[in-house]
Amino acid sequence: MPGLAPADSAGGGPDSVNGALVPYLPDSHVSAIYPLRHGLNPPISRVSVSWGRGNSLRVSVFRQPDSDGGEVGGKVVELTLGKSRDGEISDTQWRKIAYGSVSPFALLQSRKNSAASLSRMQLSPSPYHLEWWEYVMEYSKDISALLGDPKSVGAPLIEDPNEVFIKKSEEPSSLKAAWELMEMFYVDKLSQAWLPERLVDWLADYDSLISVDLPTVHSKLVEFQSKIVTLQVIEDDPRYWDLISSALAVGWLEIVVKLLRLHGSYRLDQLGRRETENGLVEAVAVLISKMPRMRPAIDAGKHGECFKAKPDFVKAWERWRAQITKLDSSAFWVQCDNRQTREGLKNVLQIMLGNVDVLCSATCHWMELYISHFLYIRPFTAGLESMYSLAQNCIRLKHTSNPHKLMRLMIGILGENNEVVLSECSRGFGTWMVAHAIELLTAGSNEADFLVHEERENLGGISLEELHRLVYAQLLSSHLLTWQIAPIYLTSCMRQGMGMLEILLLKQPVQENQVLLKLHLFVQNLEICRLYELDGVSSRLMEISGMYHWKHGRKGCAVFWLQQAQDEVRLSKIASQLFESVGKSISGESFKQWEGLIELLGSEGQPAGGLDFLHKYRDFKKCLQHADSKKDADAARQAVESLMSLMRNASTPQRFWLPILYDAVKLLSWDKRPLINVSQTNLLLNKLQELSLARLRPDFVEPELPTHALNHVRYSLATNLGRAILEES
């Protein structure tokens, strides 16, 4: 198997980090040890661990027991491992992203499945069908919108002339920057032709992110912005010209033009004296604002002339360059007596003419230098051709020991090394990023598609795609508010996702202390089981719930859930407990207690475990009680009917025959007239005979009845038979 993310190609870090399945601590080295603060005084006698939800690890730390008993004996702390996301994002924002990305992800998966089934059926997609990358593009746009939109904030309504640089109200996030990089390189086929221009825009949006570690053009701008009001003669300040060159080098034309128009020669009081100087400044500003750009359109307020077709662009470019050269060699420079202006503007022209040395000194880090190459040295570059070697040259010129995570990702992308791209996504931007960005990567190339879908023996037969989804799902399940979306990701994993979903569901509590929430969550879990056809899991959950209620004295709830779970074993155990308590006495307290339960058990369409018998037995007992207390012949006849139906019913357990017959002695010895006729009596006698035979078997269970019960019943039956014969004859 090819090694994943070898250390040298990733630009630093040991292999173990780059190849890690779950980058718990992305920048850790093998021997890294992290402190775990528990606040206990030593000595510590023992430490124990237990995994909680998802990635949370619970650690119990025990102190050596104290003889005086004053101290705390131990602490339990929870560590949430793994990086879900970029550290810049708050928990709430992160949950918003997690929830928001579910539906684009699910939609894309379902499209993928239907596309796969179409190709299995060997139907060619209809000509009106979109290309696959267009679906991924739609997905990418949806996700990108979730990650914040730095471009949405335009210029302020009242423009402050000194405000050269408009600060965005929303800070851009690295996550979005990384997402956009992936999108432009792998998905957006339409922009492939003007990739360099997209990079220019990208850097304009996200250069501030890189400024965290390094000086950048952006950080220089911000710094200068704060000084601008204090400067009397702006063009005398070397930083002014330096900044103009830097901003121009990275293509921020509107800033350059704005800065140029702050030049002192524009001031009204200077008009008469500095006309030539002002003319030169303005000429340069006009040239800059007319720079030809190979892109379909440009945002309002930005400078440059757009060309969609390369031949037009080439022509315009040459014309533009010719104008610059003409200006460069113009005689007006001699007439310009302000040395600062003259040199500054000449430098600007050198940038536009693509002077490597000037560009190199105007830019701060390699990405800026790289962008300036596209703008002024290699304006006709299209696609990825030789982009990587250029990047390496730039890195050599602007070396940094600790490259920013966005830059590491960029190098991976330019180097066309999918393994590094994946590993940088996970290392720098967390599990959410890698689980979602795989879709972008695979839209780009077959090679990437193979890489992430190859079943790997080392991972127990799963692919990288599944692995990253599992890892993300495990992280989602660490939190009470996000675990519900984990199933979406788990069910998209053919091989191991369902197994993990089962474990996840079986770890969900069936009881909570808050009744309403409990029921809500429990029903929600059952719904998830139903949705994914996990019948085994749902019946297990219902059994657990049933047993919880049973043990907590809520027998009705217990029976309900056990019935839902179709737990025949427990229900029949409950039934036999009922039998016992019902069998003991017809007037006792325990009977009343069970009566409600029998009612509940009987209300089901198909009573389980012979419980329909209990229902009938209850009716028999009630009639008998009634007949006994009121000496009511009607009630007695009703009791006889119940008796006969019980004894005829095959579901009446044999162990109950004698107790029933013993109860029936009252009916047999009804003093006014025999209630049970000859044939009925014969049936009862037959049952008694059968019972006598059954008693010979070893597994027979003797009911708890007085020892004379059997003889008593036999005698009563015989007497009744005699009376019935007399009555009927």
Partner 1 sequence: MEKSLATLDNGTTCSSWNYSGQRLATGSVDGTLSIFDSGDPASTSFKCTSKARVGESGVVKVVWIPPLFGDAVACIDGNGSLSLWEELAEDAQAVEWKHSKSFQSNSAKVLDVQFGVFRTILKMYVQLVIVFVCSSQVVAYSDGQVKVYELSNPLELKNWQLQAEFQNLTDSVAKLAKASCFSASICWNPQRGDGQELSFVLGFNSDTPQLNSSKVWEFDLDHQRWVPVAELALPEDRKDQVFSVAWAPNIGRPYEVIAVATHKGIAIWHLGSNPDTDGRLSVERVALLSGYEAEVWQMEWDMSGMTLATTGTDGMVRLWQSNLNGIWHEQAAFEPTT
CB contact at 8 A, 328 and 346 = yes
Among 570, 621, 687, 723, binds partner 1 (CB under 8 A): 570
Nearer to partner 1, 61 or 369 (CB): 61
C-alpha to C-alpha distances, 289 to 324, 325, 377, 432, 495, nearest whole angstrom = 12, 16, 18, 41, 57
Omega within 30 of 0 (cis) for the link into 43: yes
For the record, the structure tokens of 428 come out as 């720098």
Q: Does 16 bind partner 1 (CB under 8 A)?
A: yes
Number of residues in contact with partner 1 under rule CB under 8 A? 111
Amino acid sitting at position 672: K
Element holding 62 (H helix, E strand): strand 56-63
Compute the Cα dihedral for 318, 319, 322, 323 and give only its sign.
negative
Cα gap 541→640, rounded to integer Å: 44
Residue 444 CB, shortest distance to partner 1, in Å, is 21
**Between residue 445 and residue 474, which ones bind partner 1 under the rule CB under 8 A?**
456-462, 464, 470-471, 474
Taking the least distance from each CB to partner 1, the nearer of 40 and 688 is: 40
Least gap, CB of 229 to partner 1 (angstroms): 44
Please report how close the Cβ of residue 121 comes to partner 1 at its closest, in angstroms: 28
Binding test (CB under 8 A) with partner 1, winner from 34, 301, 673, 707: 34
Q: Is 573 in the site for partner 1 (CB under 8 A)?
A: yes
* Least Cβ distance, residue 59 to partner 1 (angstroms): 6
* Nearest distance from C-beta of residue 563 to partner 1, angstroms: 14
* 36 part of the interface to partner 1, by CB under 8 A: yes
Q: How far is the CB of 721 from partner 1 (least distance, A)?
A: 41
Q: CB of 150: closest distance to partner 1 in angstroms?
A: 29
* Token pair 């005398």: residue: 236
Q: How far is the CB of 652 from partner 1 (least distance, A)?
A: 23
**Minimal distance in Å, beta carbon 32 to partner 1?**
6
Q: Is 49 in a helix, a strand, or coil?
A: strand
Rounded Cα–Cα distance for residues 248 and 250 (Å): 5
Beta bridge partners of 57: 51, 79
Question: Quick one: which of 7, 25, 106, 166 contacts partner 1 (CB under 8 A)?
Answer: 25
| Binding track over 472-501 against partner 1, x by CB under 8 A | --x--x--xx-------------xxxxxx-
Asked if 676 and 668 touch (Cβ cutoff 8 Å), the reply is: yes
Residue 337 burial (CB < 10 Å; 0-12/13-18/19+)?
exposed
Contacting range for partner 1; rule: CB under 8 A; set: 22-30, 183-191, 348-356, 693-701:
22-30
Shortest Å distance, C-beta 148 to partner 1: 25
Closest CB to partner 1 among residues 145, 503: 503
Scan residues 506-545 and list those touching partner 1 (CB under 8 A). Answer: 506-510, 512-514, 517, 521, 536, 540, 543-544
| Residue 32 touches partner 1, criterion: CB under 8 A | yes
Q: Which of residues 666-705 bind partner 1 (CB under 8 A)?
A: none
Which of 604, 684, 589, 615 minimizes the C-alpha distance to 644?
684
Q: Which of residues 396-415 bind partner 1 (CB under 8 A)?
A: none
Using the minimum distance from each CB to partner 1, give the nearer residue, 11 or 279: 11
Beta strand 305-306 with 292-293 is parallel
Residues 328-347 that bind partner 1 (CB under 8 A): none
Bridge partners (DSSP) listed for residue 44:
63
CA distance 109 to 106: 5
Pick 65 or 383: Cβ nearer partner 1 = 65
284 phi and psi angles, rounded to 5 deg: -65, -45
Question: By C-beta, is 61 or 228 nearer to partner 1?
Answer: 61
- The answer to whether 567 touches 540, Cβ cutoff 8 Å, is no
Strands 44-51 and 74-80: unpaired
Q: Could you tell me the smallest distance in angstroms from the CB atom of residue 592 to partner 1? A: 13
For residues 66 and 533, which CB has a smaller minimum distance to partner 1 in the complex?
66
- 488 neighbors 472 (Cβ within 8 angstroms): no
Judge contact between 676 and 719, C-beta under 8 A: no
CB of 43 to partner 1, least distance (A): 10
Q: Which is nearer to partner 1, 429 or 561 (CB)?
A: 561
What's the one-letter identity of residue 313? F
Residues 49-88 that bind partner 1 (CB under 8 A): 49-63, 65-66, 69-81
Taking CB under 8 A as the criterion, which residues in 613-652 touch partner 1? none
Q: Is 272 helix (H, G, I), strand (E, B) or coil?
A: coil
Of 229 and 516, nearer to partner 1 (C-beta) is 516
Contact at 8 Å (CB) between 144 and 180? yes
Helices (DSSP H) in 228-252: which residue ranges?
238-249
Rounded Cα–Cα distance for residues 204 and 218 (Å): 8
Residue type at 727 in one-letter notation: E
Q: Is residue 61 classed as helix, strand or coil in its secondary structure?
A: strand
Provide the 8-state DSSP code for 48: E
- Contacts to partner 1 from residues 102-141, by CB under 8 A: none
